[in-house]
Amino acid sequence: MNKVLNYSELIEKYPWILQEKQNVIISPDIDGFLCGLFMSHYYNWNIVGFYDGKQMLIQQNIKIEDCIFLDMEILRKNIKSCGRHMIIYNINNVPPSLYENLSNCINPNFIRKFDACHNFPKKYPFAMIHFLLCIVGTIDNKNILVDKTSIPVLLYVDGTFKNLLNYPENCVEWLNFLNAKQSDSPIYPIYVLFANRKLAEMIHELEFLFKEFEKIGEGTSGDKFKISEAKINYGEPSFSSIKKLKMILTLLSNYTNWNFCPDKWTTSNFKIYNFTKKIEETLNNKKFGRIIGDNPISLAITATKRIEYTLPIPDDL
């Protein structure tokens, strides 16, 4: 098992992760939004769609296989994706088709050969944006800007602050694997920003951020773009849903100083795909094999015996 991630090998295997002007489909939540802002700011990526595991919006006339998916794993060998979920049930009993379908997918758990059966408590504890920061910050000379103002949202995303407090040993192990704690590491300056932050300061900053999201959501969820609630007619989401999306992106941009350029974000003229999402609560080797045999588009093992997976309806997926 690798003790430290070899970033050079990763980039050599998946060079598309650092290529300019790519089309990207993101998860419609804070992690996806941060990934979109980060890659559009530093690599001029265009956000052309959203995918939440049940529905997908993609700009008309854009082919899915010409896009990169961020913050989810797409189980198709011809589609590039980068996610951080647990996707293998038992590393000793993996259906051959799954290896093939994951050949164009970057996933930290998969890199370490972690599975739900043996390693679920040790799964990757951070968000996709943190993994991207490590990849870009280590390999590419982009002069990545991460300062103190970014800390609240980078702690908030995907409950990172909860994992740091509840599972510190696992977080430290992963920080070592990502080579974040070595003083000569290019990403050490990012790690230090968090390590030197006092707990009371972080809690106060997070409390303020919670209130900002509450304002956007008007008392409900203010940190997501819910595709099912966007009331999409003829490819056009409702005005209120797009207004909310732009408010979230502006807020995140203000915190991170990663530019929100509306021209790089598709908010209309969508094609919509509807899928079948299923949940299995008593996962085992046999059931996992059956699920993979059904050719899911994506999946995530969210507990040792629980898996959420998406089955295709459109023929082109």
Which uninterrupted H or E stretch holds 209? helix 199-217
Query: Do 193 and 146 contact (CB within 8 A), yes or no?
Result: yes
pLDDT on residue 218: 65
The angle formed by the CA atoms of residues 136, 64 and 283, to the nearest 5 degrees, is 80
What's the DSSP call for residue 224?
B
260 lies in some domain: yes
CA distance 231 to 216: 18
pLDDT truncated to tens, each residue of the chain (317 aa)?
558 999 999 999 999 999 999 999 999 999 999 999 999 999 999 999 999 999 999 999 999 999 999 999 999 999 999 999 999 999 999 999 999 999 999 999 999 999 999 999 999 999 999 999 999 988 766 678 788 899 999 999 999 999 999 999 999 999 999 999 988 888 888 888 888 888 888 899 999 999 999 999 865 667 888 888 888 887 899 999 999 999 999 999 999 999 999 999 999 999 999 999 999 999 999 999 999 999 999 999 999 999 999 998 655 55
Q: What is the DSSP string of 161-204?
A: HHHHHH-HHHHHHHHHHTT-S-TTSTTHHHHHHHHTS-HHHHHH
Question: Considering the domain boundaries, does residue 21 fall inside one?
Answer: yes
- CA 106 to centroid of chain Cα atoms: 11
- Position 235 scores a pLDDT of 85
Counting every residue, how long is the chain? 317
Specify the 3-state DSSP secondary structure of 279. Answer: strand
**Residue 118 confidence (pLDDT):** 96
Structurally, the chain folds into a number of domains equal to 1
The reply to whether 6 falls in a domain is no
The predicted pLDDT at position 219 comes to 57
Helix axis angle, 30-43 relative to 239-256, nearest 10°?
A: 60
56 lies in some domain: yes
Q: Which domain holds residue 129?
A: 16-311
For residue 8, being part of any structural domain is answered with no
Output the pLDDT for position 222. Answer: 77
Q: What is the pLDDT of residue 163?
A: 92
Residue 226 counted as domain residue: yes
Does any domain span residue 139? yes
Q: Which amino acid is at 191?
A: Y
Q: Which two tokens stand for residue 227?
A: 């595709």
| Region for residue 159 given its phi and psi (left: phi exceeds 0; alpha: psi -120 to 50; beta: otherwise) | left
Which pair of structure tokens corresponds to residue 170? 């696992």
Return the pLDDT at 317. 58
Q: Cβ–Cβ contacts within 10 Å for residue 63, how many? A: 9
Domain-located, residue 106 = yes
Q: 10 Å Cβ neighbour count for 35?
A: 25
Of 31, 29, 28, 23, nearest to 47 (Cα)?
Answer: 23
> Would you state the pLDDT for residue 272?
92
DSSP E strands in the chain: the ranges are 23-26, 46-51, 55-59, 67-70, 80-82, 105-106, 270-274, 276-280, 298-303, 306-311
**199-217 and 239-256 are packed helices; what angle lies between their axes, rounded to 10 degrees?**
160
